[in-house]
Structure 1
């Protein structure tokens, strides 16, 4: 909920923000603390932000942090402040608080307020999100379904989403197509259809459906996130990068949006920009192994082997991963440290024994060490597992 509602604030705090200029470090740090469960630290940071920017989105984040600490009175005080600034904006959180407190009457009041507002909780979330599970204990699920807070179409969308969750895709698609045939302007129906066709491997039709959803609802974060995933799958990296930039504009305090953009900058060979962005992210997440790996790859492509090796070594201290070992092996190959390269490629093969690409690389490292017999042995295995480089090396060196 925090990150879903916080995207508006950046328009007030940092107008015209672009990546080449700045990143909202303090805000990202605060919301990263929340995601990592460091709620007291997050509240301290949010207090500083609120002293300069008393917006409801920030109050909402603070209220959620208090809730996570079971400090219900302070959480409700924050909700009162929000209500004065933006009516009903905190109604979902108030409902969650009263559910936690098992206060049936106030939970029901908060829920009714929410369902009459533009911040209405979706029926699927309301009946399936673990944060609302106390619905059933308090009997609010029966009250909810007996009242007309949700239209027939919304109830059908709930049924379809539940079927998707149960992996009953054909049944879900039948309902969604019926909704679309009745009204082609339901963005959520096109989004759910895109999800199903993506799961079924029909990526092009999935893209068509999500494009329709976004035409109908241009700033929906979950739609743009889904399209980014599809475009990455289709190797439409420039389009994915455009969506990543939009997501940062809409949700500037979601750190994963920055990581996605850095990855796409790397994939589009914008290595300087990728390095700049990963360096910024590492100021907030200094021990994130995947960001360290991405940074190392970017430095490697710029032939900055010292920085590349430093970052991949740090990543490997945190997480053992075949891609990490392979990258470090590549760095050692580039610096003529062939014995170390051989060791890292062997570590890769300990994790994935049928990796033809790594056998081809390991064979080349052994050849550089003067071990032609060992190299040819590795290349034979690489050929067996589909490596064209291994076949080429066999023809060149092992005849």
Structure 2
């Protein structure tokens, strides 16, 4: 009888923990990020290496502005799974927002090494290179992003901005107009400033 009770309690604990992970997903989908982070934390107490829950908790922390905790989760994931592309991309975005452009290049470089066909990685690398004043490299990165995803409107917009810096105004205007056709809101301002 004692063994039956132990098995029942263990099963109940596993069911509750699984429910915490599912609840976290539901909260996240509903935009209740603080509750999502709490649910994932509860689940991770007994499953500390569950990558999906760590990643979703990190994203939840990002949404509520607890960036240090988000970084900690993404870095832990990379320790567990050094090929986790989404964690590298998340760290690249955080680094860009923190104006740590050299770190952006490190993280996007890792992504591109793992999968060179991710337009977002090339785009983020281009943004960092652009900020660092490496216009030729930025142009190449934006070109790579566009060659992977022809409908990447922001890549056209920022490629146009690089072309302005290189005094290639006609070509820049083509990019701005194409960005506008892809519904990039900022394209109108660029067209007004450079293409009249």
Offset at residue 337 of structure 1 (A): 2.8
2:112 corresponds to 1:282 = yes
Structure 2: distance between partners of 1:309 and 1:277: 19
Structure 1: distance between partners of 2:12 and 2:65: 38
Q: 1:48-70 CA deviation, whole Å, 9 max, x = no partner?
A: xxxxxxxxxxxxxxxxxxxxxxx
Note the aligned Cα RMSD (angstroms). 2.5
Structure 2: distance between partners of 1:197 and 1:281: 29
User: 2:186 aligns to what SS in structure 1?
Assistant: helix
Aligned partner of 1:336 in structure 2 is 167
Gaps of 5+ in 2: 1-7
Q: CA 1:237/1:334 → structure 2, altered by over 3 Å: closer, same or farther?
A: farther
User: 1:300 aligns to what SS in structure 2?
Assistant: helix
Higher Cα Rg, which structure: 1
Q: 1:61-89 CA deviation, whole Å, 9 max, x = no partner?
A: xxxxxxxxxxxxxxxxxxxxxxxxxxxxx
Structure 1: distance between partners of 2:32 and 2:117: 37
Aligned partner of 1:234 in structure 2 is 64
Aligned partner of 2:4 in structure 1 is none
Structure 1: distance between partners of 2:76 and 2:118: 24
Contact 1:240 1:264 in 2 (8 A): no
Contact 2:20 2:42 in 1 (8 A): yes
Offset at residue 153 of structure 1 (A): 6.7
Identify which of 199, 210, 214 aligns with 2:29.
Answer: 199
Structure 2: distance between partners of 1:284 and 1:189: 33
Offset at residue 329 of structure 1 (A): 1.8
2:144 corresponds to 1:314 = yes
Gaps of 5+ in 1: 1-147, 158-185, 372-399
| Aligned 1:137-152 pairs, distance under 5 A | 151=11
Contact 1:237 1:268 in 2 (8 A): no
Structure 1: distance between partners of 2:126 and 2:153: 15
Contact 2:34 2:61 in 1 (8 A): no
Contact 2:61 2:69 in 1 (8 A): yes
Identify which of 288, 291, 294 aligns with 2:121.
Answer: 291
